[in-house]
Each structure stands twice: as C-alpha cells, then as structure tokens.
Structure 1
Amino acid sequence: MILTIILTVIFIVIYFLNYRNTRNYVIHTISRDSSNCLKGIMAIVIVLHHLSQWSDINLLRIIFGDFGVVVVGCFFFLSGYGLISSYKIKGEAYLTGFPLKRLRKLVVPFIFVIILFQLIYKKNVDILYCFKVGNVNDILPHSWYVFCAIIFYFIFYIVFKYTSNEKRGILKILIFTMLFAGMFKVIHYSGYWWVSLFMFPIGLYVKSYEKYLIGKESKYIMYLWVIIGSLITIIYLFQIKHTGFILDNLSPLIFISSLMMINISYKPLKFLGNISYEIYLVQGIAFYLLREFVTNDVYFVLLSLIFIILLSSLIKYFINKIDILIFK
C-alpha cells in the first residue's frame, strides 16, 4: 500500500516536471516492449514481496508487504490484454491449436519446476488436500497464481472458440470470473486467491474499448492517477474498512495506465520480462534452498535475487531447447 502511494506521487511529480514535454503526448495502445518491461519490474517486486515474508527485514515488509496483490493484478491484466490483442489481429486463426501453442508455454515450465521442487522437497504431498484447504505451497510455493492463470487461458479459448461476438465473449469471461471468485470465497480460500482475478476481464475490456481513448490527451491518464492515488491515500490514512477489494483492483491500474502514455524499452527490464514467468515459478525453490544455509537476512535477500535470476534464465533456455526439439 505504501509503495503504491509513493509511486503514484512520483508519477504525478514526474508528469508536472515534464509537463512541457508530455502535454503533447497522447494516449496510445500498450506496446509489447512496455508490457514486457512492466512484467520484468513486477517479477522482481513479487520476489521482494515474498522475501518480506521469508525474512525479518522490517523495511522490506513495510514497503513490499502489501504489494503482492498489485503485482498479480498487473500480471492478470496484461494476460487478458495480450490475449485479446492477438485475437483482434489474427481472429479465429489465433485459436487454431491454441491449447498446444499457448497453454504449453504455461504448463510445460510449470510441470518442470514442480518436479524439480518435489525432488528437492522430498516429502509426500497430498494434492487433493492442498486444493481442499487452498494451500498449494507443498506442490510449489506461491503457485496459486499459475493455477488460476492456466484456467483463465483455457476459459478464454473455450469462450472465443464458440462465441463470435467479442463483447459477448468478454461478458461471459466476466461472469465466469465472478463465479470463480465467488466459489473461492464460499469455500473459504484465502483472499489472495480471488481478489485480483477481476483484472483479467478488465484487461480484456480495456483492450476492447481502448479505441475510444487512443489519441486523447495524456492529461486524462494523470487525472486517473490523481483519483486512484487520492482514494488509496484516504482509505489508507483513515483505515476505512471493507475496501480491500476496491483497492486491489484499482491499484494495478496506476501502473498499467502509465504504459498508455509512455513507452518503456530498456534492455535489462526486457530481459527480466522475458523470464518473468520463470522468476515467479522458481522463487519458492530459491527461498527453500537458501533459507537452509543462509541465516543472515540481508545476505539471504541478495543471494535469493541472484539465484532466482540465474535459475530462471537456465530453465528458460533449457525449456526452449526442448520445446524446439519437440514442437518444431
């Protein structure tokens, strides 16, 4: 929460300091490079968020402790936005072989990392019990998001395979999301399972209706930052109850909307963006291994970041080689 407020203020200050340059900017579609760079940033932030839970560093907990839901919301939004973007360009052809072409990009690395973790973990895991109580950390730490993402990809494929009307298809996915989130709440899953799910259909809707925004003055993005930032600050300062769901689905829009005004293309961030999925997958392995040997929290955080990036790069390279051999 604190990090969201700080970054919102920074965005607004930067906008005003560069007003002469930015006043002629117009709202545009989110580029692939910008999306990738944001994924790279958020991948590192989600690692720091989880490190705040695995370590005893107060500053880390204060800054990143509440930021996990924002990161996941951005990931869900970009997934929905990216899927509908490709569908708009390629039409029905995009769905041809979708389970093999798209879902395998999620499922194959996921299964590989699960197997790797289980070889290291060496404990009997009751998979049914994990899903019954809503705790899949024994399968792979922090992997709940991946299970939800795979389901959303599959639902997107099913809905648009049998729905030719784009708006109707997105509405069906929104209804599914409501039912999906409601089910998690009814069976008493932790809030992180369902509060950010709505960012996926929001991503679909933004892409579907962005044609009405493109070309407008960038000041409207700044207005959005001010409105959302003010709401977050008021709710945070006055501790207004029962507003968590609203915040969790508003906060990611600050970072997403900035990409509709500025383009980001920075090689280190693009590199992290290319391995962002693998970073999310392997972070639990890194924490589990290093926590056994590293007792100093500062060293633990630094070594975790280095180890996660290296392991993610290796797994990405290895999976790509196997993928080429099998599916070329």
Structure 2
Amino acid sequence: MQFIFFIYFILPVILFWGSRIAEEGKWNDGFLSLEQTKAFQGICVVAIGVHHISQKVFANREVAVFIRNMLSPFVNIGVFLTAVFFFFNGYGLYKSYINKPGYLDNFLRKRLVAPVVAYYVTGWIFLAIRVLVGEEMGRKLFLLQLTGVVHSSPYSWYIVVLLIFYVAFYLVFKRAKNERSAVTLFTIIVFAYIAISLFIPRNDYFIRGEWWYNSVFMLPLGMLFARNEGRIIDHVKRHYAVYLVIHLIFAYPAFRLSYFVYKKLGYFSASIPNGVIYKFLSLSAQMLALYVFIACILLIGMNIRLGNKVLAFFGKYTLEIYLIHGIFVELYDHDFVGIAPSPFPIEKVSLYALAVIASTIPLALLLKKLEKVVTGK
C-alpha cells in the first residue's frame, strides 16, 4: 500500500492527539481561544499541502487510477480550508480591535510586513525557477513579476486577498464612527468585491479564478460572530443538541449540492448567456456548504478542546508553510506550473509527498526568522 494513504490516519491523529472532551454539563469555553483557533489553522495548513499534492497527482495521468481516486477527496477541499482561515481572521481582527487599546496604531506594520516579506521572497524564488526552467517572458512580464504586480507564484493568491482586506479593515475601522457602522461597511466592501468578481472572466484583470472570492465572505461572518459572540453562544448552549444534529445531518447534502452545482454550472461560463447567473448559483451553493462546515467545526469545538505540540507548531507557521510548500509541490512534480518539466520530478507519490513536507519545514523556519528581522527594523 502507498504510504500516502496513511494520511487518512495521520491527519485525525494530529488533530485529536491530546484533545479533551468536556465533562457532561460543561463546555470547552476556550474553543475560540488563540490556542484552539491556531490548532484549527495548523491542521488546515497541513491539509492544504495534501490538497495541492493531490491536485498535482490527480492531473498526472501516468499515476495509477487507484492512487488518483484514493486522493480525490482532497482535490476539492481547498475552499473549505481557506474558509477556516478567513473566518478566524475576521474573528481575530474584531476581538483584537475591541480588546487591545490602540490596536490600529501599529496595525499596518504588525499585520502587513510579514505577509509582504513572505509574498516577495516566495515570489522571487518562483520567478528564478521559471527563468531557469526556460519560460519565455519579455522584459515587461519579468519586471511585473519581479515587482509582484503579476504573481509568479500560483499559491500567493490567499496572501494577496488577505492583504487587501487587512488594508480595508484598517481604513474602515480607523474612520468609522462606531463599531457597528465599521462592521457594516466592511461587510459591504467584501460583498461588493464578490459581486464585481462574478463579472470578471477567469484569468482576466485581477481575479484569476473563483478561489479568489468564493470564501472571503467568512471574514465579515467571523467579525459578526465576534460582535455577537455572547448572545450566540448562550443561545446555542440552550439548544446545543438541536443545532448539532441539524448541522451534522445537513452537512453531507450541503456538500453534495455544492459539488453538483459546481460541476453542472461552475465558474467557467461568464461568456455564455446566463453565465454570471450560473456563477452566482455555484457561489451560493458553495457559501451554504462553507457555512455548514464552519458551524460544525464551532459546534464540535464547544465540546472538544484541541491542542498539542504538533498543532501548535503548524499553527505558528501557517503563513510560511502555506507559501513555501507550493515551491516544492511544483519542483518535485512532473511539470512546473504547467510551463515546463519540473527539474526534480519524483515519480513515487508517497516519496513525492514526504519530500514536499521535508523541504517545506526548514525553509518555513528560515522565512519566519527573516520576517522577524524585517519587522523589527
């Protein structure tokens, strides 16, 4: 059996190792603490790595059909994982704003510098490899990728979107009269971004695909949850069993509906009659599935305390791991971002996955140190 299939055992072990179930009649009151939200994000960044590996394996028709089918469940889970990041980012931004006096004073330096450093470092690495493998590009395109205006890394989109909304958050909360109007305006900005994106064809202008906008609504949703956290949690505790059963029952139908609508309509039809409507319907189905997914995570988290050293490690380096791993996903695959054969292809899937992980972690640590140096200066 391929070692890669043990991922179905390894991921649950990493997630639940050291977990504690709340005693009867009690709750895990720290289910939205920094430690637990980082634990959730830690397992998600590992799953994102498996997601990208599975996409490359699934696209390689030389790999056995059995292996491709075994990894296929990971091919389409990326949107659910990024939804977790966006939700907890929105939640964390609002909680920090209301609990930390002067939070906005140094916000741009604290929130923007590290992602910008990581974005450019990984982008320049991708650009260097593109040149080395022989991609033909004119001086203009080279300069655009060098300056980051055009993304040389296909894995950098999440950071770009996050930076955009960090700036939007800063401007809105800096100028708004009160918290309610700030959250409302930020929500309007996010949904305006989504609405505009629906009219932009894939790979045109700024939007490269639906992943640029199909989960960003979780940012304001996280803020709204944080703003009404006390009332929501008190209400859910009184009807916990009902909410848990309903969401668990509807989880699978919601996921299947999302997948069905995506396959039947999808986001590829902007240029045909009713194309934008098809995109809107696909987006709506995905948004429903994402809501159910996040709700299930929160409901289960209310009764189970997560946290161990492995999750804490991955949760500390989510940004760096997210950007770095893509380099090795491409380097060790059969082709490099679809432009040329990869310089170091690894044919055996299990060895390919292990090599990506082993190469990513040390570079993620180095990138974190570089970010701290630049931020300090």
Deviation at 1:205, TM superposition (A): 0.5
SS of residue matched to 2:176: coil
Match of 2:295 in 1: 253
Between 19-28 and 145-154, report the one with greater CA deviation.
19-28
Choose the corresponding residue for 1:114, options 114, 117, 123: 123
1:75 equivalent in alignment to 2:77: no
Whichever residue aligns with residue 97 of structure 1, its letter is: N
Deviation at 1:298, TM superposition (A): 1.9
Deviation at 1:222, TM superposition (A): 5.0
Unaligned runs of 5+ in 2: 1-7, 59-66, 203-208, 262-280, 334-341
1:266 equivalent in alignment to 2:268: no
Whichever residue aligns with residue 44 of structure 2, its letter is: M
Partners of 1:26 and 1:214 within 8 A in 2: no
Whichever residue aligns with residue 355 of structure 2, its letter is: L
Aligned residues: 305
The CA distance in 1 between the partners of 2:360 and 2:348, in whole Å, is 18
Match of 2:199 in 1: 186
- For the structure 1 residues 183 and 27, does the alpha-carbon distance in structure 2 shift closer, same or farther, using more than 3 Å as the test? same
Whichever residue aligns with residue 35 of structure 1, its letter is: T
Choose the corresponding residue for 1:207, options 226, 245, 262: 226
Match of 1:288 in 2: 330
Match of 1:316 in 2: 368
The CA distance in 2 between the partners of 1:60 and 1:307, in whole Å, is 24
1:96 equivalent in alignment to 2:105: yes
Between 237-246 and 167-176, report the one with greater CA deviation.
237-246
Whichever residue aligns with residue 36 of structure 1, its letter is: K
Partners of 1:29 and 1:210 within 8 A in 2: no
The CA distance in 2 between the partners of 1:225 and 1:30, in whole Å, is 17
- For the structure 1 residues 20 and 120, does the alpha-carbon distance in structure 2 shift closer, same or farther, using more than 3 Å as the test? closer
- For the structure 1 residues 90 and 20, does the alpha-carbon distance in structure 2 shift closer, same or farther, using more than 3 Å as the test? closer
SS of residue matched to 2:305: coil
Partners of 2:317 and 2:364 within 8 A in 1: yes
Partners of 2:80 and 2:290 within 8 A in 1: yes
- Identity score, percent: 26
TM-score scaled by structure 1? 0.83
The CA distance in 1 between the partners of 2:120 and 2:330, in whole Å, is 18
1:8-87 alignment to 2 at 5 Å? 21-25=23-27, 30-56=32-58, 57-87=67-97
1:277 equivalent in alignment to 2:319: yes
Deviation at 1:202, TM superposition (A): 0.5
Deviation at 1:108, TM superposition (A): 1.8
1:208-247 alignment to 2 at 5 Å? 208-214=227-233, 218=237, 220-221=239-240, 223-236=242-255, 241=261, 242=281, 243-247=285-289
Whichever residue aligns with residue 314 of structure 1, its letter is: L
- For the structure 1 residues 104 and 247, does the alpha-carbon distance in structure 2 shift closer, same or farther, using more than 3 Å as the test? same
- For the structure 1 residues 140 and 29, does the alpha-carbon distance in structure 2 shift closer, same or farther, using more than 3 Å as the test? same
The CA distance in 2 between the partners of 1:26 and 1:73, in whole Å, is 22
Choose the corresponding residue for 1:139, options 145, 152, 158: 152
SS of residue matched to 2:201: coil
Whichever residue aligns with residue 75 of structure 2, its letter is: G
SS of residue matched to 1:34: helix
The CA distance in 2 between the partners of 1:127 and 1:250, in whole Å, is 43
Match of 1:158 in 2: 171
Match of 1:299 in 2: 351
SS of residue matched to 1:323: helix
Deviation at 1:40, TM superposition (A): 0.7
Between 249-258 and 261-270, report the one with greater CA deviation.
249-258
Partners of 1:71 and 1:252 within 8 A in 2: no
TM-score scaled by structure 2? 0.73
Partners of 1:74 and 1:252 within 8 A in 2: yes
The CA distance in 2 between the partners of 1:61 and 1:127, in whole Å, is 35
Whichever residue aligns with residue 193 of structure 1, its letter is: W
The CA distance in 2 between the partners of 1:278 and 1:312, in whole Å, is 5
The CA distance in 1 between the partners of 2:329 and 2:219, in whole Å, is 28
The CA distance in 2 between the partners of 1:164 and 1:259, in whole Å, is 34
Deviation at 1:129, TM superposition (A): 9.4
Unaligned runs of 5+ in 1: 1-5, 131-135
Cα deviation, 1:188-225, whole Å, max 9, x if unaligned, reads: 23221211010000010111100213456757455434
Deviation at 1:177, TM superposition (A): 0.8
Q: Which runs of 4+ in 1 moved over 6 A?
A: 127-130
- For the structure 1 residues 297 and 71, does the alpha-carbon distance in structure 2 shift closer, same or farther, using more than 3 Å as the test? same
Cα deviation, 1:273-311, whole Å, max 9, x if unaligned, reads: 111111111122111222232122221112112222222
The CA distance in 2 between the partners of 1:276 and 1:60, in whole Å, is 26
Whichever residue aligns with residue 203 of structure 1, its letter is: G
- For the structure 1 residues 69 and 263, does the alpha-carbon distance in structure 2 shift closer, same or farther, using more than 3 Å as the test? same
Deviation at 1:155, TM superposition (A): 0.5
Larger radius of gyration: 2
The CA distance in 2 between the partners of 1:257 and 1:117, in whole Å, is 40
Higher relative contact order (CA 8 A, sep 6+): 1
The CA distance in 1 between the partners of 2:229 and 2:371, in whole Å, is 35
Cα deviation, 1:25-66, whole Å, max 9, x if unaligned, reads: 265561111011111100001111111111143255332122
Superposed CA RMSD in Å reads 3.0
